[in-house]
Amino acid sequence: MASMAAASTSLQARPRQMVTAVKCFSQGSRSNLSFTLRPLPTRLSVSCAAKPETVDKVCEVVKKQLSLKEGDQVTAATKFAELGADSLDTVEIVMGLEEAFDIEMEEDKAQAIETVEEAAELIEEILKAKA
Amino acid sequence: MVDKGQVISLCRFLLRAGRQYPDYNIREYAKRRTLDGFRMNKNLTDHSKVVDAYVEGKKQLEVVERLVKVYLAYPPKTKNIMELKLQ
């Protein structure tokens, strides 16, 4: 009887010890974790899923195809229609992008491209699938 | 009934087929001619004319694909100077 009581108390004591041990661990790790977030790169003003290098290369190809002057702004969110391109110009731009990146885009996906960002994302998807 | 998507697809097919030529001259010509041809008929309003142009485009696509096979049988031995990058 006494041994059983002793055993029960010892069993009770052990989990309490474990709990305190766990508490100490969490407290210790919390103090190690500082709440400073990683500084976001200030270049990316638009939340874009594509890499900036891809977006820059796409912008370059677009500028050359549409013969835009250096001062004209081409960012990730720019629609091709805003730059004065109609559907035929868009087809030409997409062909130019395919050649620049050495990829093949599917018909229906290529038809859906309307902004620089969509083009860059689709290009990265294809490059990832190729690798 | 020919809609815009079909026309765009035809343009894309023609451009893609023209890309396969090994000879620089005909490759550039195919690209230039398709874009010029589509731009010339861009503002057609009469639907029967649009259908005519589409049928013509389809015929040209067959021609291009046939010629690609012929040109690939006799590829040029040297690179054209226009294809060399400026150093």
Mean pLDDT of successive 10-residue segments in chain A (131 residues)? 48 47 48 58 56 82 79 71 84 90 86 85 86 76
CA distance B31 to chain A (A): 9
B21 vs A102: CA distance, rounded Å: 16
Number of domains in chain B: 1
Tokens of A95: 């062909």
Tell me, yes or no, if A102 is annotated catalytic. no
Q: Do A88 and B12 touch (CB under 8 A)?
A: no
Q: What is the pLDDT of residue A22?
A: 46
User: Total structural domains in chain A?
Assistant: 1
The answer to the question of residue A14 being in a domain is: no
pLDDT of residue A85: 82
CA B54 – CA B39 distance, rounded (Å): 13
**Residue A108 touches partner B, C-beta closer than 8 Å:** no
Residues of B in contact with A88 (CB under 8 A): 8, 11, 35, 38-39, 42
Q: Which of A56, A72, A86, A102 is catalytic?
A: A86
Q: Write down the pLDDT at residue B31.
A: 93
Using 50, 70 and 90 to split pLDDT, how confident is the model at B80? confident
Q: Any idea what the CATH number is for the domain that residue A96 is in?
A: 1.10.1200.10
Please report residues of B whose CB lies closer than 8 A to that of A95.
Answer: 12, 15-16, 19
Express each pLDDT in B6-57 by its tens digit: 999 999 999 999 999 999 999 999 999 999 999 999 888 899 999 999 999 9
Cβ(A75)–Cβ(A117) below 8 Å: no
User: Would you list which residues of chain B are within 8 Å, Cβ to Cβ, of chain A?
Assistant: 4-5, 8-9, 11-12, 15-16, 19, 35, 38-39, 42
In which domain, by residue range, is B55 found?
Answer: 4-83
**Distance, CA of A92 to CA of A62 (rounded, Å):** 9
Query: Nearest C-alpha of chain B: how many angstroms from A101?
Result: 15
pLDDT at position A31, please? 53
Residues in A closer than 8 angstroms to B21, CB to CB, are none
Contact state of B39 with A110 under an 8 Å Cβ cutoff: no
Q: Is the pLDDT of residue B76 over 50?
A: yes
| Helix spans in chain A (H) | 2-32, 52-66, 87-101, 107-111, 116-130
Q: How many CB atoms are located within 10 Å of the residue A80 CB?
A: 23
Phi, psi values for residue A69, rounded to 5°: -75, 165
What is the residue range of A112's domain?
A: 50-128
Residue A56 lies in a domain: yes
